[in-house]
Structure 1
């Protein structure tokens, strides 16, 4: 670890605190892992209990500082608008309930926000050199910009998805939502000397779009995740007790991912002898498993398992023969995910297991799998090519071994936390240093 003085004082601003239950929380915890405790603090909006293994200094913003948002979200939590409809709801229900939920979300997000004096005083006492935020909503943009202006320091935005393209793009509140999002994003860029993105394709596009420098920083993997695997020495045969080929998915089922997984489950039922039987085991958050269970009810080759804690992920991934990554083919969701790199991809690669990717081939996540030569990608919704790729993975254990080895080697170079987190700290230090020079 570098000398403490090489780390700038960073104030992280976001909806959720550091943690290990969400993709964003995991990415933040890994990027800031090992950061000196006195040089890291966070302002967050939710009442979620923060994790203290990475950051120990928190300010939880009272939800009543935005009273319209507070009462609207309480109303939504009680189920008045119904939230996004379940996958087995009819088209009319999906349209009516979905639109109502979108408008209610916009009302909550665009409601007035007051920065309490206590918060501003707390931030001044901390003396940040950089405000860092993953943004994602109008309210968080306003909060991050307000604190950066008050403290007189640069804002460093980190984009995990291409939400600037999709946020309120359906005309919520007669277009007011979209105009508010665009206006606040312009203020973000005005306060930023440079930005960060979750993938290299996103960084390339954002440099052209916003005309400021962008660098790519994605989830990284702790060195312990690489232990116990030796490229070329693992058993290439099936690992499950029944002798079948075990496909494993670990992650959320939202953003239409449940549909792609159900299609894989259907394809697995086409596997016939003399190929070994195959099964897809899905590990997902409990709320997703409950909500999307009907989509898998008739698929005998799919097993819905359970939610897993962060400490269980590595052994579960290593227990698989093939790891599965999916994204939706729905055009509105493709716009949102096309430049993103899922948190799980570096974890999958580090596990040394081949990956079956199923989603539009142009997505950054699918391109990353191909670039690593770590798996097979099926980039369309047709059943026949999906069945063929699955059969190939089931038939050829040496192919599985080669792809897994490739992914492991790629992750060691590109996703090791020791390398990525050091470069991340150096980047923020340069931003803070440049801002300090400009003030002198």
Structure 2
């Protein structure tokens, strides 16, 4: 019996390949960055062009291996830009009390696509066996990917390591799509994954605790990590100078999942700041598709500036240029149910930037609790415009408070979110799973 390397051979199975265009892609790229190239391979199902920065061995599943899925998704996204991640979120968020018949129809069509037959071709099975993985790692997210991951793990005779980024297992097809067949397919698929897993991963500690109770196997929290260069190159917050211009509140991220509404409320709050401590400005850096879709919601708010979409290499300078960084989530119950255990990809980046954070979203969400735990910012955990005005005013009027909160976040991020430590623990976890599987053979 040969000893499993500290970097086991990992077959990653998912919708999108490694990349920097989505939160999941960024998290995976950071966790696997530096992995030996001959010990990492990925199977993916979208037409996204893969990046060779982290992984060099790819197998793209032909969309026509799932013909119904391919046709239906083409119809659903016609004329719109949609990533696999945004499509998965749209399917997993339950409809609210006023869900339209059109929305229900789209969710039913997504279920039809997701549950339709999938062909795992012989050349893919042979390719996976030649790679000879120690484990199959997957963020899952759909019935389609669950089935693909289970079949490839069975083909190779190895365990699955699932990694959950949102609480989609509790919400996907929870509106009774296809007369309950969608929900039953999710439950059956996840049951099969758990039977083939010795442990799992989650995006936050609260999620790991709940999933351990839910599924009866151990779960460990692993979220996005931050390159050491972000700490080495850190720029101190500039000293506040009276009359030097507005206090800059900056948001980087998507506007979907109703986040635009919370940002608009903050924009309205900044409009009402008295002088002193005002003035203040909220600048939004979001995907071009989101700016086009939701930009009109900010047209009546002079304190809000719509910037542009930025690449991953531009994020750190944008964060350093801010006085206050903003993180928001939706207050809609059906969306909060989906995001309640999630921890945003950008929060570790925000903390590492050494700038204070203003959080606005339900106070019991894991992301808002993380801001409180790190003592790196202020949280307005309810839809209260007056409270939002007061908290924004405190940050605008007290540069020493901003510096103190930012320093706490930087110290926390360096201790808990630095890539060197997190990636090492991640590799150790996968090596333990691979070692247990090898010992049982």
The answer to whether the superposition gives a TM-score over 0.5 is yes
Q: Answer whether contact 1:236 1:400 (CA < 8 A) is retained.
A: no
How far off is 1:228 after superposition? 3.0
Deviations 1:13-55, CA, capped at 9 Å, x for gaps: 0000000110000000000010000000000000100111000
Q: Which runs of 4+ in 1 moved over 6 A?
A: 82-85, 91-94
In the alignment, which residue of structure 2 is the partner of 1:38?
A: 38
8 Å CA contact 1:353–1:407 kept in 2: the answer is yes
* Structure 1, 293-302 or 27-36: larger mean CA deviation: 293-302
Q: Does 1:237 align with 2:240?
A: yes
Residue 4 to residue 350, structure 1, CA distance change in 2 (3 Å): farther
Query: How many Å separate the matches in 2 of 1:171 and 1:294?
Result: 33
Q: Is the 8 A contact 2:4 2:431 kept in 1?
A: no
Structure 2 contact 163–200 (Cα < 8 Å) conserved? yes
Q: Which runs of 5+ in 2 are unaligned?
A: 91-95
Distance 2:227 2:201 in 1: 21
**Residues 233-270 of structure 1, C-alpha deviation per residue, up to 9 Å, x if partnerless?**
6434269x952100000000111111100110111100
The one of 374, 388, 412 aligned to 2:390:
388
Q: Is residue 2:7 matched to residue 1:7?
A: yes
Partners of 1:152 and 1:27 in 2: CA distance: 27
Give the distance between the partners of 2:228 and 2:79, measured in 1 at CA.
Answer: 43
- Which residue of 226, 229, 247 corresponds with 1:224? 229
Rounded to whole Å, the distance in 2 between the matches of 1:415 and 1:383 is 32
Please list the CA deviations of residues 94-146 of structure 1 after superposition, one character each: whole Å capped at 9, or x if unmatched.
Answer: 61321121111111111111100010000000000000000000000000001
Are 1:42 and 1:58, in contact at CA under 8 Å, matched by a contact in 2?
A: yes
Kindly indicate whether the alpha-carbon contact (under 8 Å) linking 1:11 and 1:40 is maintained by their aligned counterparts in 2.
yes
Query: What residue number does 2:61 align with?
Result: 61
Aligned position for 2:93: none
Task: Give the C-alpha shift of residue 276 in structure 1.
Answer: 3.1
Aligned length: 428
Q: Which TM-score applies when normalising by structure 1? A: 0.94
The CA deviation at 1:93 is 10
Give the alignment of 1:234-273 within 5 angstroms: 234-237=237-240, 242-273=244-275
Partners in 1 of 2:272 and 2:396 — Cα distance? 12
Aligned with 1:344 (options 343, 346, 349): 346
Cα distance, 1:238–1:424 mapped onto 2, change above 3 Å:
farther
Q: Say which of 101, 104, 107 aligns to 2:112.
A: 107
| Aligned pair partner of 2:146 in 127, 141, 144 | 141
> How far did 1:79 drift?
5.4
TM-score normalised to the size of structure 2? 0.94
1:406 corresponds to which of 405, 408, 417 = 408
CA contact 1:148–1:155 (8 Å) conserved in 2: yes
Aligned-residue Cα RMSD (Å) equals 2.1
